Amino acid sequence: MFLNGTMLALAIKKKMGTETAQKILIYGMATSLFLLFCLCFWLYWARHGSPVAPHSTSGVGTIIEGKVLINGTTSIGRIDDDFVCATLDWWPPQKCDYKTCSWGRTSLLNLDLNNVILLNAIKAFSPLKIRLGGTLQDRVIYQSNEQQPCSPFVQSNSDLLYFSEGCLPLTRWDELNNFFKKAGAVVVFGLNELRGKTINSGSAEGAWNSSNAESLMRYTVNQGYTIQGWELGNELSGNGIGATVSADQYASDINTLHDTVQNIYGFDDKPVVMGPGGFFEENWFREFIQKTTKSLQVVTHHIYNLGPGNSKHLIDVILDPSFLDSISRKYSRLQSILKNSGTKAVAWVGEAGGAFNSGHNLVTNTFVFSFWYLDQLGMASSFDTKTFCRQTLVGGNYGLLDTNTFVPNPDYYSALLWHRLMGNNVLSTSFSGTNKIRAYAHCSKNTQGITLLLINLDGYATVQVRVSAENATGPGISPLQDPRTKFARVSRGSKIANLTREEYHLTPKDGDLHSQIMLLNEKMLTVDSSGVIPPLEPINVSHSDPITIAPFSIVFVQIPYINFSVCN
């Protein structure tokens, strides 16, 4: 560009003189510099100003100021101490989806119970609630004595769900219970609801035959094994998966299960009766709950709102605030049914893998899935859900642990932080400044104060957050300037000049949302050579500093100097 301008000036010099040529040369250089500036600006905007690709975080971005408002007048929900739950399934290695077989040896029948990482991963929760069940639970026979033949599942295109019936040997039941006792797990077990039924055109008809389940329960009691709950059936409600049971018949079967539990367990601390373990369909659930008000203690439903595991749009919907909000109606409608039915039953999410058919490798087992998972934990708890069971602890492409190595995936650490930091009482929380921040708050667990969960779905903007709280108490808490509000904020007075909060910042390795390695405060989380789960250590931040949330990141914030009476 400069060369062409110079040559042009020399040519003009011969015809028009030196002065004119110099002017043209200066004009040409100025024009070239302007064009070069425009090119550089365009390249900068293309990299930093355009929408960020969903697989990685960006570099320099904008800074947004936001405010989280927490109303501590009352709790809007209350979760169990062991709210975080994970599942173990029955799928054998032959279970494949989209020409990929992702289950390996993670079935209840062949899981390596001697794996030290598996043991330590469960122990770290102290306790972890584990739900034993899944699609094939309605094809399981329980061995009643050691002389009875007991065969595993066999793949068969002519059978329901494409597998034959499989058998749970008593020796394996012993091994599982001994392992769970050693790991300190809390166990719920899914029973076969199709036992005794005839299936006609997808409709399972007839009463539940409880004799085989009763045999397993009696053996369990005689061996001294502890089961927190017995759940009847898996995904047979509404339209069902493979088969469907009417709400009226299902309610009758639940009543039978209740009577069976009452007869077998003679002591006061009886296991809870749970069901139906299916997808929420309002009319079906309403009839079912209304007919089980005396027998059902836990209503379980499943969440797979992201669609099939082979979807090409999983990350798009995970990062879409409007899509994440859309599931709230199901939580709300279920709570409405429970409140209006006269039942004392509570709601659990009994199984949630997000994307059905075993999830999606390098999406549902990577950092990006923690956006969906933690948002679901926050949303479910805000609608008074007592327990949330993740599909799976290990197995498929959505395990908290890797299917082959048992090494924790990012969601394992997200779950563990939630379990350790988020207390029982759920606080009403709202955020202003951007719709890309998801905000949830609870009373802190086993300590004073509150814990915030903030999720930044924006890959470009860093968000600096200030906290305001209604009806809060504590040193240095002062009312906001507007006398019409009851909100309070942390003052900068000398009384708490030295107070700090604890922050846990979660990011993906190398900024890659598809990474299976999570960073906590910029340090990689990995098990050591002995299979020990790493410590989860916070950083201390002054109360006067805003909470800074990096693009595409998550932060838990434990704030000891904001207290509510509802948390005491």
Active site amino acids: 235, 351
Structure-token pair, residue 2: 């400069």
Phi and psi angles of residue 556, each rounded to the nearest 5 degrees, phi first: -100, 135
Spatial neighbors of 301 by CB under 8 A, at least 6 apart, are 276, 277, 278, 279, 280, 285, 330, 334, 347, 348, 349, 350
CB 279 within 8 A of CB 235: yes
Give the 3-state secondary structure of residue 422. strand
Distances (CA, A) of 498 to 204, 292, 447, 494, 557: 65, 55, 19, 8, 17
Q: How far apart are the first and last CA of the chain?
A: 73
Which of 30, 37, 153 has the alpha carbon at shortest distance from 90?
153
**Token digits of residue 11:** 């040519």
Question: Three-class SS of residue 299?
Answer: strand
Distance CA(280)–CA(333), nearest Å, equals 9
Residue type, 210: S
Counting Cα atoms < 13 Å in the Cβ hemisphere of 368 gives 26
Q: Is 37 exposed, middle or buried (0-12, 13-18, 19+ CB in 10 A)?
A: exposed
Distance CA 288, CA 254 (A): 9
* Helices of type H across 395-497: 410-421
What are 212's two structure tokens? 């085989």
| Distance, CA of 155 to CA of 137 (rounded, Å) | 15
Amino acid letter, residue 331: Y
Please check whether residue 334 is in contact with residue 299, taking contact to mean a CB–CB distance below 8 angstroms: yes
CB 568 within 8 A of CB 444: no
Q: Which of 370, 367, 357 has the alpha carbon at shortest distance from 397? A: 357
Cα–Cα distance for residue pair 286/300, rounded to 1 Å: 13
